Amino acid sequence: MNRVLVPELAAAPRPPRGTTPFVLSGESMGTTWNVQAFAPSAYSIDALLRAIEWALASVVSEMSTWEAGSDISRFNALEPGAWATIPGGFRTVLACALEVADRTDGAFNPCIGALVDLWGFGARAPAHEIPPNDHIEAALRAADRSALAFGAERGRLRQPGGLRLDFSGIAKGFAVDEVARVLTRVGLNSYLVEIGGEVRGAGIKPDGLPWWVEIERPPGCPSMPIIVALHGISIATSGDYRRNAILDGKRIAHTIDPRTGRPLENDVASVTVLHPSCMHADALATAFLVTGAAIGKAFADAEGVAAIWITRTPEGFSETHSAAFTRMLGE
């Protein structure tokens, strides 16, 4: 048995007529991407592949901290007081990241790059030991987002000194939105876009069925699967099982608690957020992992966001649903 989640629709989508299915995939942003769609039979899939690859390459060249020459890396290396001009995608992501940071009381913080590097999850060498307290405190001071001066309209950004941006908690979602935009622009309206587990879907298939996607669950979680009809909506999941490291013999999470500057330690195994924008879903999923289920649910309910937390308890896994999620499940 599955539980079924169907978003409310303003208008029923129409199935694409006279189309054939295709699949495109590749690697980008340190992970894999996959597009499934229906296109008119004589469609130039090669041209579409090039447009998708170009969109992804542009996200990497603006926002990858793994590329020394990217806009983000160049900003991170600036002298204190220097200004950078940042390109459009970077601007959109930074504005959304700061908005989610404000709305979640700083649980999401795009300025924690120095901490991510210090704990060995960035592009610098992996850590083998727990860093000394004074290093943690210095990296935490450098993560103060109020020190950032951002002129969103003109795309100007001031480096306060030592502040390192990290968009790994939001950029994959943005890239999904960008690929979806490429598909829409060329007239395709029935597709599923997935990058590293973040997914966005649109339309329905020629047979009238929606794009069903199962909500990711932590390994070993026995609860009944929830499948979502992904029309005009995105799903992003953050989980403690997705990436971690062993430091001084202890398993640590790759998500940083921006209040302590240390890897997150709480009972949340995974959080999934549904949102029309995959960029928002991605940032909110990371934020809600940090807040935990109780505070996260209060935030989500105040703003009508659909989210599910799977937490670890002594009795096994437990689920918390936001009000909007419960509504979509029809419970």
Of 185, 170, 143, which Cα lies nearest the Cα of 54?
185
Q: Which of 19, 76, 238, 277 binds ligand AMP (CB under 6 A)?
A: 238
Residue placing its CB nearer to ligand AMP in the complex, 164 or 321: 164
CA angle 184, 188, 194 (to 5 degrees): 75
Q: Which of 19, 109, 272, 291 binds ligand AMP (CB under 6 A)?
A: 109
Q: Which of 258, 261, 292, 296 binds ligand AMP (CB under 6 A)?
A: 258
Under rule CB under 6 A, residue 190 binds ligand AMP: no
Number of residues near ligand AMP (by CB under 6 A): 19
Question: How many other CB atoms sit within 10 Å of the CB of residue 318?
Answer: 14
CB of 62 to Mg ion, least distance (A): 17
DSSP count for the chain of H helices, then E strands: 8, 18
- Cα torsion 255, 258, 175, 156: sign: negative
DSSP track, 110-159: TTBHHHHHHTT-SSSPPP-SPPPHHHHHHHHHTT-GGG-EEETTTTEEE-
Residue placing its CB nearer to ligand AMP in the complex, 190 or 270: 270
CA angle 156, 160, 164 (to 5 degrees): 85
User: What is the contact surface with Mg ion in residues (CB under 5 A)?
Assistant: 169, 282, 285-286
CB of 187 to ligand AMP, least distance (A): 31
CB of 34 to ligand AMP, least distance (A): 18
CB of 45 to ligand AMP, least distance (A): 30
Under rule CB under 6 A, residue 282 binds ligand AMP: yes
Under rule CB under 6 A, residue 195 binds ligand AMP: no
**Per-residue x/- marks for ligand AMP, 146-175, CB under 6 A?**
--------------------x-xx------
**Helices 88-103 and 45-63, axial angle in degrees (round to 10):** 60
CB-CB contact of 180 with 217 (8 Å):
no
Summarize as ranges the residues that interact with ligand AMP (CB under 6 A): 108-110, 112, 116, 121, 166, 168-169, 238, 242, 254-256, 258, 282, 285-286, 290
